[in-house]
Amino acid sequence: MKRFKKILLALLLPVLVLQLASCKMSQANLYNKWKSGSTENLPKAHVFEEISVGDLIGKVQKQGSEDKLYVFFGSTTSSQSQAAIKIYNQQAIQYEINKVYWVNSNLSDGDKKKLSADEGGILRVNDPEYLPAIYVFEGGVLKFDSSEAKYKNDTTKYTTVKLAEIAFKGLYNEN
């Protein structure tokens, strides 16, 4: 029995080490994508994880009733997105959110079609003027969309910090 445990440990240990290393590499890769020259838009230790449109749709559809899924749409080349991701990261850490998925908003027509609620997707595809955006899904349902016109029309009330607070504290349930 001891031999079996040693063999099992010898097999599992490299898998765990590789998994931890890939998480760190993924975090570093995302940091490098958001770094703009000498400007760090996202710290090295951040809560963001890049996800493809297909994987996002799969996660939303498999989501449990109590689960919350936070998704940030933005582009590494957009100054608004660069400012927003920094704030969303700070606020997520403050509200003890461990993971926020990032989807690059430079979508292909096929990805836009997959996402489009008109095509059976999970959300409406927004115009670039509404990006960057933060979304919250609960139980597979879109509960908060920062790109809604009511949040974009009153810029004095809905700053990026306020949108993060609404998303991460679940204040959208109070409306």
71-117 pLDDT tens trace = 999 988 888 888 899 999 999 999 999 999 999 888 888 887 777 76
Predicted confidence (pLDDT) at residue 126 exceeds the cutoff of 70: no
Predicted confidence (pLDDT) at residue 45 exceeds the cutoff of 50: yes
Position 140 in a domain: yes
Position 62 in a domain: yes
Q: Estimate the crossing angle of helix 160-169 against helix 79-94, to 10 degrees.
A: 40
- Neighbouring CB atoms inside 10 A of 157's CB total 9
Res 130: pLDDT: 64
The rounded mean pLDDT for the chain is 78
136-160 pLDDT tens trace = 999 888 889 888 877 776 656 788 8
Predicted confidence (pLDDT) at residue 125 exceeds the cutoff of 70: no
Predicted confidence (pLDDT) at residue 57 exceeds the cutoff of 80: yes
Give 123-127's long-range contacts (Cβ < 8 A, gap of 24+): 126/73
Q: Which range marks the domain in which residue 91 is found?
A: 27-174
Position 1 in a domain: no
Question: Could you give the number of structural domains in the chain?
Answer: 1
21-32 pLDDT tens trace = 344 446 777 788
Q: What's the CATH number where 126 sits? A: 3.40.30.10
Position 20 in a domain: no
Position 19 in a domain: no
Burial status of residue 23 (CB atoms within 10 A of its CB: 0-12, 13-18, 19 or more) = exposed
Position 97 in a domain: yes
Res 23: pLDDT: 43
pTM of the model: 0.78
